Amino acid sequence: MPLTRHEIPTHLNVEDRAFYGLSVRQLMLVTVGVTGAYGLWNQWSDVILAARLGVAVACLALALVLAFVRPGGRGFEDWALVGLRYLALPKVAVWRPRASDPRTWRPAVARWEELSPTVRWTEEER
């Protein structure tokens, strides 16, 4: 029985799905948001109930926005890298041609006769 070959496509640009139709990136961001919201709710027991609830809900909402909103088909972390690269690059570029030096056009020591090739086969016949 001949072996059959199956080509696995690796160029689909599709994220793998982990649980409940969420990608690994989305699952990680939702998990971090839920953990952060729970930590804020649980650790700030001295704060007023409404403030605790507001901060916890804001943390969870931020995580959900980061996980599910993708402006331009890219996540916010990609846009953050693009923005940092934009800030790091210079905004003005000036092109100035360099002045050429006539001394670099031709070698100063070598003359034209010295640069002509020599034929070896004529010397071997003698």
82 lies in a domain?
A: no
113 lies in a domain?
A: no
112 lies in a domain?
A: no
89 lies in a domain?
A: no
29 lies in a domain?
A: yes
Q: How many folded domains does the chain comprise?
A: 1
92 lies in a domain?
A: no
30 lies in a domain?
A: yes
The pair of structure tokens assigned to 3 is 């072996």
- Structural domain boundaries enclosing 19: 1-77
The pair of structure tokens assigned to 10 is 């690796």
Cβ contacts of 115 within 8 Å, gap of 6 or more = none
Per-residue pLDDT 10s for the chain (126 aa) are 778 888 777 777 777 788 888 888 899 999 999 999 999 999 988 889 999 999 999 999 999 999 999 999 888 999 999 999 999 999 898 888 888 877 777 665 655 555 566 677 765 555
The pair of structure tokens assigned to 5 is 């070959």
CB 59 within 8 A of CB 34: no
62 lies in a domain?
A: yes
The pair of structure tokens assigned to 93 is 């570029």
